């Protein structure tokens, strides 16, 4: 097998592992990576070599394991050594390191700083969907940190939006529509009790409404 064909085979395995992670199967992702890890490690300086610890770190983060941190840090180091590494790799490395600090280490302020950096990279590269996905994560941290009474509503929106296939931008726009609906004083406990937590049906209708309004513009 030619070196190029071998790299393509290894790339397919990395992509398969990422799909397993995205579908909530980090155990399966690690099983996919295991038989090709040594082959990827032997190709120092390639994009696949730089991405290997990132994929492993993503899977371990999903398993809530502390050892994810060392892999994610290694991914940062390797991304600096790859010639003309794509900006997507840098964005992913930041985002998943932020995920580790938010989900595993419970260091929200550190996670927020990392997400802000990742969002800046995404904005500069013109990656709109990546940018809005990161904005949502920053918004979630802010609501949680402030013990905002709207936090449960935000989680409901994100859950419905992901399940029903709405983009991050559509979710972000819908959240702003929701805030406008409840008014600027909705953060107070008194008003939050008056409105109560919004239902999944409410947010699904609002997501659809926001999408349709954008299409009509």
> Residue 66 domain-assigned?
no
Stated as kind and residue range, the H or E segment containing 61 is: helix 47-62
Q: Which one is predicted more confidently, 7 or 58?
A: 58
How would DSSP label each residue in 122-147?
A: HHHHT-HHHHHHHHHHHHHHHHHHTT
Residues 6+ apart with CB under 8 A from 156: 197, 198, 199, 200, 203
CA angle 68, 70, 64 (to 5 degrees): 15
Residue 33 resides in a domain: no
Residue 103 falls inside a structural domain: no
Nearest in space to 118 (alpha carbons), one of 92, 79, 82, 137: 92
In sequence order, which residues have a C-beta less than 8 Å from that of residue 150 and are 6 or more positions away?
143, 179, 182, 186, 187, 192
Please state, rounded to an integer, the average pLDDT across all residues of the chain: 90
Model pLDDT, residue 56: 97
Q: Is 90 part of any domain?
A: no
Q: Is residue 12 part of a domain?
A: no
Is residue 19 situated within a structural domain?
A: no
The SS3 of residue 205 is helix
State the pLDDT at residue 188. 47
Number of domains in the chain: 1
CA distances, 134 to each of 121, 158, 161 (Å): 11, 13, 15
Task: For 95-154, write each residue's pLDDT tens digit.
Answer: 999 999 999 999 999 999 999 999 999 999 999 999 999 999 999 999 999 999 899 999
Q: What's the domain range around 172? A: 147-217
For the stretch 68-112, pLDDT in tens is 999 999 998 998 888 888 999 999 999 999 999 999 999 999 999
Q: Is residue 34 part of a domain?
A: no
What's the distance, CA 99 to chain centroid?
Answer: 7
Query: What's the CA gap between 195 and 8, in Å, rounded?
Result: 54
- Nearest by Cα to 160 from 144, 172, 171, 176: 171
Answer yes or no: is pLDDT of 48 > 60.
yes
For residue 51, being part of any structural domain is answered with: no
Write out pLDDT tens, residues 173-215. 999 999 988 874 444 444 444 455 689 999 999 999 999 988 8
Residue pair 17/29 in contact by the 8 Å Cβ criterion: yes
What per-residue confidence (pLDDT) applies to 189?
42
Residue of 119, 100, 120 whose CA lies nearest to 110? 100
pLDDT at residue 196 in the model: 57
Q: How high is the pLDDT of residue 84?
A: 83
């Amino acid at each position: 097998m030619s070196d190029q064909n071998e790299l393509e085979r290894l790339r397919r395995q990395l992509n398969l592992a990422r799909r397993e992670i995205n579908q909530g199967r980090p155990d399966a992702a690690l099983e996919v990576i295991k038989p090709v890890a040594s082959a990827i490690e032997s190709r120092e300086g390639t994009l696949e070599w730089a991405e290997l610890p990132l994929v492993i770190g993503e899977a371990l983060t999903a398993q809530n394991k502390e050892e994810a941190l060392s892999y994610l840090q290694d991914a940062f180091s390797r991304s600096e050594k790859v010639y003309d590494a794509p900006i997507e790799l840098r964005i992913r490395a930041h985002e998943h390191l932020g995920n580790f600090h938010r989900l595993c280490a419970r260091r929200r302020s550190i996670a927020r700083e990392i997400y802000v950096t990742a969002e800046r990279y995404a904005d500069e590269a013109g990656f709109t969907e990546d940018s809005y996905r990161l904005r949502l994560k920053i918004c979630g941290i802010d609501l949680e940190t402030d013990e905002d009474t709207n936090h449960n509503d935000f989680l409901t929106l994100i859950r419905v939006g992901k399940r029903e296939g709405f983009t991050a931008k559509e979710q972000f726009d819908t959240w702003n529509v929701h805030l406008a609906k409840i008014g600027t004083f909705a953060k107070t406990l008194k008003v939050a009790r008056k409105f109560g937590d919004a239902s999944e049906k409410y947010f699904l209708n609002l997501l659809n409404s926001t999408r349709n309004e954008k299409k009509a513009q």
